[in-house]
Amino acid sequence: MKEDWNVKELLGWTNQYFSSKGIDSPRLEAEVLLAHVLKQERVYLYANYDAPVNKLERKQFRDLIQRRVGGEPAAYIIGYKEFMSLKFNVNPAVLIPRPDTEMMVEKILELPKGQVTDLCDVGTGSGAIAVSLAYYLPGARVTATDISEKALATARINAAENGVVIDFWQGDLLAPLVNHPPFDLIAANLPYIPKNEYIILDQEVKEFEPVQALLATGDGLDIYRRLLPQALEKLKPGGYLFIEIANNQGEKALEMAKAFIDVEIIKDMAGRDRILKARKG
């Protein structure tokens, strides 16, 4: 590589290199990593195409490029991911928040105002769902559970850094909340990938993201089959249930939610089954 590089040249070279390695959204990935090295927001890059990048910064950038080409997700490399326009710390103890889960939060926020004032996020991970709901529903009381103490430690940091108060509990599903009053809404994005699909996932997911947040037993819905009776017990009459599922699980999800009313499958932007929405009768 040549000695003198500016922002535009580095982005152009990295875009081509990432493309040759089969990385999705190569330009975006290059921008995310370079902005991190320069300790700037991505918008800085567009306004400073001609800005020089010094030797130390270039070395740091090269190191990040090699980590990314090695399969490590960019979010883990830089240590955070944007979700619902908020910044979330992420690490290998938690799943990287996805756009499909943003859609679930958006659907919850569309519910009539005042209907949801006491809600619970089961298997909170990084806290993406719980923190986002607490942020955008400032009058709501938000509770979150996770079986992993490392995940809860990350979620607590994200709650504090986004200026919201959440009641965190460690334990399996709703078990730690046996004495908690009923909720207006329960949301969950739990593991739903069966073994036969997990083994063919992309390397960067399978080798870097926490297996306990992805891999599910049986057909992928076993953990939800345990959650639904607990949720039915823990919801107020008329309370809502939202869970994220795989795009081939809609029919089975409807079947397992027969004890609820107003059951429906919400499709993602690609028209695939993605969210089960239901209410307690």
Q: How far is the first Cα of the chain from the last one, in angstroms, to the nearest whole number?
A: 66
pTM of the predicted protein model: 0.93
pLDDT at 141: 97
**What residues does each domain of the chain span?**
5-70, 91-279
**What average pLDDT score do residues 213-221 get?**
93
pLDDT digits (tens, 9 = 90+) for 97-118: 999 999 999 999 999 988 899 9
Q: 91-279: which CATH architecture?
A: 3-Layer(aba) Sandwich (3.40)
Contacts made by residues 141-144, CB under 8 angstroms, sequence distance 24+: 141/117, 141/167, 142/166, 142/167, 143/118, 143/119, 143/167, 143/168, 143/169, 143/177, 143/180, 143/183, 144/120, 144/168, 144/169
pLDDT at 2: 62
What's the one-letter identity of residue 183? F
* 15, 9 contact by CB (below 8 A): no
pLDDT digits (tens, 9 = 90+) for 248-281: 999 999 999 999 999 999 999 899 999 999 999 9
